């Protein structure tokens, strides 16, 4: 049987708007269903490619935008990340040491950080399970839906699950 973890990606104050607000209570509930929970916080540090190449300076280290928008459970490990994904040698070692081979992924933004975390897990031999109804894009629902379609090609449609509303797979 697979050992599972939950990865909550970038559910931070600065990413909450009308398109993403519904994710907050869902991720708070999902934490209760997992023994191993990780939550990422994106921090846009000085000299980052976002600042240098995109002229995007939001989510600086002292910004209120970086604060988590949900109450982490006691067993939730918070990971600060300066790039789109948290899937690095440290995180993979953490999962493997705990015998985890399947990671439920949820959070914000489906089209960017959620996708890259899921693909990173897939490329490193883990099974990512994207909890579609626990994800959103602050750019709007069309970006969220496009990302789910693209991820179904990248990691397989069996890894994209509707979790809250219908329980069915996305095709």
Q: What is the pLDDT of residues 15-34, one digit of tens each?
A: 999 999 999 999 999 999 99
Within-domain flag for 137: yes
Q: In the structure, what pLDDT confidence band is assigned to residue 163 with cuts at 50, 70 and 90?
A: low
For 16, the 3-state DSSP assignment is coil
Q: In sequence order, what DSSP letters do the residues of 135-148 get, joined into one string?
A: EE-TT-HHHHHHHH
**Residue span of the structural domain in which 28 resides:** 4-161
Query: The CATH number of the domain where 103 resides is what?
Result: 3.40.50.850
Task: Count Cβ atoms below 10 Å from residue 25 Cβ, excluding itself.
Answer: 12
Please say whether the beta carbons of 106 and 131 come within 8 A: yes
Establish if 169 belongs to a structural domain: no
* pLDDT score at 108: 98
Question: Count of domains in the chain?
Answer: 1
Domain contains 35:
yes
Q: 68-122: per-residue pLDDT in tens? A: 999 999 999 999 999 999 999 999 999 999 999 999 999 999 999 999 999 999 9
Check pLDDT > 90 for residue 60. Answer: no
Please give the pLDDT value at position 165. 46
**Residue 90, in any domain of the structure:** yes
């Amino acid at each position: 049987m697979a050992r599972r973890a939950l990865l909550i990606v970038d559910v931070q104050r600065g990413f909450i708007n009308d398109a993403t607000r519904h994710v907050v209570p869902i991720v708070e509930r999902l934490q209760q269903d997992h023994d191993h929970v990780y939550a990422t916080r994106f921090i846009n540090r000085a000299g980052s490619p976002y600042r240098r190449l995109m002229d995007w300076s939001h989510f600086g280290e002292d910004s209120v935008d970086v604060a988590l928008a949900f109450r982490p459970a006691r067993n939730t490990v918070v990971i600060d990340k300066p790039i789109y994904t948290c899937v690095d040698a440290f995180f993979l070692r953490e999962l493997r040491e705990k015998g985890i081979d399947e990671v439920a992924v949820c959070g914000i933004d489906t089209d960017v950080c959620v996708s890259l975390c899921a693909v990173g897990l897939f490329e490193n031999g883990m099974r990512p399970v994207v909890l579609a109804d626990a994800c959103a894009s602050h750019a709007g629902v069309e970006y969220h839906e496009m990302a789910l379609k693209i991820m179904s090609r990248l990691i397989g449609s069996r890894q994209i699950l509707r979790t809250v509303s219908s329980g069915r797979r996305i095709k």
